[in-house]
Chain A
Amino acid sequence: GEDVEQSLFLSVREGDSSVINCTYTDSSSTYLYWYKQEPGAGLQLLTYIFSNMDMKQDQRLTVLLNKKDKHLSLRIADTQTGDSAIYFCAEQGNTPLVFGKGTRLSVIA
């Protein structure tokens, strides 16, 4: 089946940029998503990118997509303690969403 891979942990200092990476296998992916899960809560849609785009920027968030390498990244500029959470990459092709295992971002004050 389709697979989405992410590193499990990332630690950054407050004010630095965070980059969370994701790779996927489904070459028919049409939409790629980033979800955020704060402690004790469900997942919330953070941003998404359509497969014919290379980049999408939304305030402090920048999503980069390398479709040839099937690589997606999420950059958070000026990372704050409130950004501490688990971030899930997800891809959608001809099947329902496939999620990665999530990257736990820890922000050190």
Chain B
Amino acid sequence: EAQVTQNPRYLITVTGKKLTVTCSQNMNHEYMSWYRQDPGLGLRQIYYSMNVEVTDKGDVPEGYKVSRKEKRNFPLILESPSPNQTSLYFCASSLQSQGNYGYTFGSGTRLTVV
């Protein structure tokens, strides 16, 4: 089944403890992206990647890192999480960033930083 898989679905952590949220897609998509969703703010893009080894900042990149060493994986790294990073995170992928390909979203990761 074609899908974007995020892990974990739920995570509670303490301030300053490094964590990684994994994202993997099995559709050979070139484009991958991370969003955070907060009440009243909608979806805000954190980082995106046009292809392997190519990553760019989105609208809210501060406090996050990403890597794209292989096509299928696009992990989101929080080196020193803070409470303002408590949010619902989504990974998405698309065949390409432009053109009518639509985005496929993962099921989300709800992160709480205490």
Contact = CB atoms under 8 A, between A and B. Distances in A.
B42 A92 contact: no
Interface of A: 1, 8, 30-31, 33, 40-45, 48, 50, 88, 92, 94-97, 99-102
Contacts of A95: 97-98
A96 B93 CA distance: 11
Interface of B: 4, 31, 33, 35, 40-43, 45, 48, 59, 90, 92, 97-100, 102-108
A100 to B, nearest CB: 6
A97 B48 CA distance: 11
Given A31-B100, A33-B102, A41-B108, A88 B42 contact: yes
A95 B45 CA distance: 12
A91 to B, nearest CB: 12
Contact of A99 (B43, B99, B106, B108): B43
23 contacts: A8-B40, A31-B100, A40-B108, A42-B4, A42-B105, A42-B107, A42-B108, A43-B92, A45-B102, A48-B102, A92-B98, A92-B100, A94-B98, A95-B97, A95-B98, A96-B45, A96-B98, A97-B103, A99-B43, A101-B41, A101-B42, A102-B42, A102-B43
